[in-house]
Amino acid sequence: MLADFNFRIIFEYLPLFLEGLRSTFFISIVSIFLALITGIIACACRISPFKLLKYPAIAYIEIIRSTPLLVQIYFLYFGLPTLGVRVPEIQTGIIALMLNSGAYIAEIIRAGITSVDDGQIEAGVSSGLNYLQRMRFIILPQAIGATVPPLLGQSIVLVKDSALLSLISVMELTRVGQTMTSERFMPAEAFFTVAFFYMCIYFCLKALADWSQKKLIFREAY
Amino acid sequence: MIEFKHVNKWFGKLHVLDDVNLEIDKGEVLVICGPSGSGKSTLIRCINRLEPIQEGEIVVDGVPVHDKATNLTKLRADIGFVFQQFHLYPHMTVLQNVMLAPVNVRKIPSDKAEEIAREKLIQVGLTDKAGAYPAQLSGGQQQRVAIARGLAMSPKIMLFDEPTSALDPEMIGEVLDVMVNLVSEGMTMCVVTHEMGFARKVADRVLFMDMGKIVETGKPDEFFDNPQTHRAADFISKILTH
């Protein structure tokens, strides 16, 4: 079976694959960065006592989490032009990934914050520390340590989710596989290569996640 | 120093504080005991407004605690609170735990604050643990750090909410010793505890609560040897027999 596997064509298409890899990489990095900002803002609103901030944040998070990413991508891709907003596919894709991951990241950060024991917060309150001081000195240092590994997990999800952008013809890794398939009809070779590159990204991020797990979780138990 | 005037508090339908009237003098050591759920923890948690009240007034050192205009930061900074579960900050060293509030609430420069913190750690007998993390300490040591953390703010009042209940028996003594030491320095203290030995030794007054009411108050020896109410007698016999 392996004898039938055409490695030559993979090498022939390698420049295109690398171009796709570069594009996937670029889309992922930008989307993760923007999603992180979105997530932090959404989380801050979500836990704020002000209803005007809190309820829109809940609505945003729940809408994103209750609908498929593909639907969200199509919604933006077909919906934005009807609203008169014309943006290139790649930007539509990045916005979709940003909004999607942002909602999950908001919940990850919230989980990190609420994981800090209430008693410590009371201890802070009773020694006279105000809300911002408690956040800065007690809650965030512990929440960040607890948040980084799941955030890297979410980044891995986002990289794989970016494959869906091939459906709105963004020329990323998966799209390259589709292109090769339609030009040469060698889907096995095409998607074997695509999968290989995704795995490369995955293992890099996983190594980072494992490292951060060791490094950032503070020494709780001896 | 602390005054409760007709204080009422409900948790939903549960009447946790039922018309509480109480005066605690400067330098007085008050021990509060009573069955679980009787409202004793809630009572001391109201003193620094960790809990709101629905009726009545609490005045601490002339300041109405539950008044909207009250400077809560100042009020709380002057009242040390020691919890049953210690609640140290696990990501900070012992020294950082003790210094946090003095530096950020009292705005004491950090070199001066460190000096104070080390002094307080000596006072609770933990000279060599300044650089350790809470998880590296025993329960008794953690609770002593928590006491040092309270003392570093130079409080006027120290509140203790069952400070020895979460400790292994052999560690109770070291924490009580620190507290007895504090009494001899003239600190105003409210201690929720069932440690009768401690109460007999240092308390000026014992207050017995049940169902949100102050049922009985008295000198420790009188209270434990000759309780006036049936409810208190029943309670004392129970904590004696185990």
What pLDDT is stored for residue A209 in this prediction?
81
Q: What is the pLDDT of residue B50?
A: 93
DSSP code for A137 = I
Torsions phi, psi for A54 (to 5 deg): -65, -50
The whole-angstrom separation of Cα A26 and Cα A6 is: 29
What strands, in cross-sheet order, belong to the sheet with B205-210?
B79-82, B157-161, B188-192, B29-33, B205-210, B213-218
Contacts of B100 in chain A (CB under 8 A): 127, 129, 137
For residue A137, list chain B residues with Cβ-Cβ distance below 8 A: 89, 100, 104
3-state secondary structure of A92: helix
pLDDT, residue B210, reads 93
> How far is Cα of residue B151 from the mean position of the Cα atoms in its chain?
12
- Residues in chain B within 8 Å Cβ distance of A218: 90-91
pLDDT at B242: 58
CA distance B227 to B216: 8
CATH number for the domain harbouring residue A47: 1.10.3720.10
Predicted confidence at residue A218, as pLDDT, reads 53
Interface check A120 vs B, CB under 8 A: yes
Tell me the three state secondary structure of residue B22: strand
| Alpha-carbon gap, residue B130 to B120, rounded angstroms | 11
**Residue A47: inside a domain, yes or no?**
yes
Domain annotation covers residue A214 = yes
Question: Cβ separation of B91 and A141 shorter than 8 Å?
Answer: yes
Query: What pLDDT tens digit does each residue of chain B (242 aa) get?
Result: 999 999 999 999 999 999 999 999 999 999 999 998 899 999 999 999 999 999 999 999 999 999 888 898 999 999 999 999 999 999 999 999 999 999 999 999 999 999 999 999 999 999 899 999 999 999 999 999 999 999 999 999 999 999 999 999 889 999 999 999 999 999 999 999 988 889 999 999 999 999 999 999 999 999 999 999 999 999 998 887 65
Bigger pLDDT: B20 vs A9: B20
Helix (H) or strand (E) holding A174: helix A173-184
Average pLDDT of span A49-65: 95
Longest dimension (CA), chain A: 73
Q: How far is B25 from chain A (nearest CA, A)?
A: 21
> Is any Cβ of chain B less than 8 angstroms from the Cβ of A141?
yes
Would you say B168 and B178 are in contact if contact means Cβ atoms under 8 Å apart?
no
Q: Measure in Å the smallest separation between the Cα of A43 and chain B Cα atoms.
A: 23
Asked if residue A2 is part of any domain, the answer here is no
Q: Give B81's contacts in chain A (Cβ within 8 Å).
A: 123, 126-127
User: Could you say which DSSP state residue B155 is in?
Assistant: -
Q: Give the rounded distance of the alpha carbon of B19 from its chain centre.
A: 21
A77, amino acid identity:
Y
Look at residues B69, B12, B24 and name the one whose alpha carbon lies nearest to residue B214: B24
Using DSSP, state whether A44 is helix, strand or coil: helix
Residues of B with CB under 8 A from a CB of A: 48, 50, 72-74, 76-77, 79-81, 83, 85, 87-91, 100-101, 104-105, 133, 135-136, 146, 149-150, 153
How far is residue B30 from each of residues A69, A93, A193, B190, B204, measured CA to CA in Å? 62, 66, 76, 5, 6
- How many structural domains comprise chain A? 1
- Choosing among A122, A126, A130, A218, which should be mutated to test the B contact, i.e. which has the most B CBs within 10 A? A126
Q: Given an 8 Å threshold on Cβ–Cβ distance, is B104 in contact with A129?
A: yes
Judge: B101–A128 Cβ closer than 8 Å, yes or no.
yes
Q: Is A199 inside any structural domain?
A: yes
What pLDDT score does B188 carry?
95
pLDDT above 70 (res A221): no
Minimum distance, in Å, between the CA of residue A33 and any CA atom of chain B: 27
Position A23 in a domain: yes
Of residues A112 and A145, more confidence is placed in A112
pLDDT single digits (tens) A73-120? 999 999 888 888 888 889 999 999 999 999 999 999 999 999 899 999
Strands B188-192 and B157-161: parallel
Contact B39, B207 (CB under 8 A): no
Of all residues in chain A, the one with the smallest CA distance to B134 is A220
* Burial of A58 (C-beta count, 10 Å sphere; 0-12/13-18/19+): middle
At residue A222 the predicted structure's pLDDT band, cuts being 50, 70 and 90, is very low
Question: Are the C-beta atoms of residues B16 and B39 closer than 8 Å to each other?
Answer: yes
Q: Phi/psi class of residue A162: alpha, beta or left (left: φ > 0; alpha: ψ in -120 to 50)?
A: alpha
Rounded distance between C-alpha atoms, residue B118 and residue B99, angstroms: 9
Cα distance between residue B72 and residue B65, in whole Å = 8
3-state secondary structure of B114: helix
Q: What is the CA radius of gyration of chain A?
A: 21
Q: How confident is the model at residue A220 (pLDDT cuts 50, 70, 90)?
A: very low
Whether residue A1 lies inside any domain: the answer is no
ipTM given for this complex? 0.90
The neighbour count for residue A169, using CB atoms within 10 Å, is 13
The CB density around residue B166, as the number of other CB atoms within 10 Å, is: 14
Whether residue A26 is contained in a domain is answered as: yes
Residue pointed to by tokens 């100042």:
B74
Kind of pairing between the strands at B55-60 and B2-11:
antiparallel
Residue A38 to chain B, least CA–CA distance (Å): 27
Full domain range(s) for residue A67: 7-221
Residue A122 to residue B135, Cβ atoms within 8 A = no
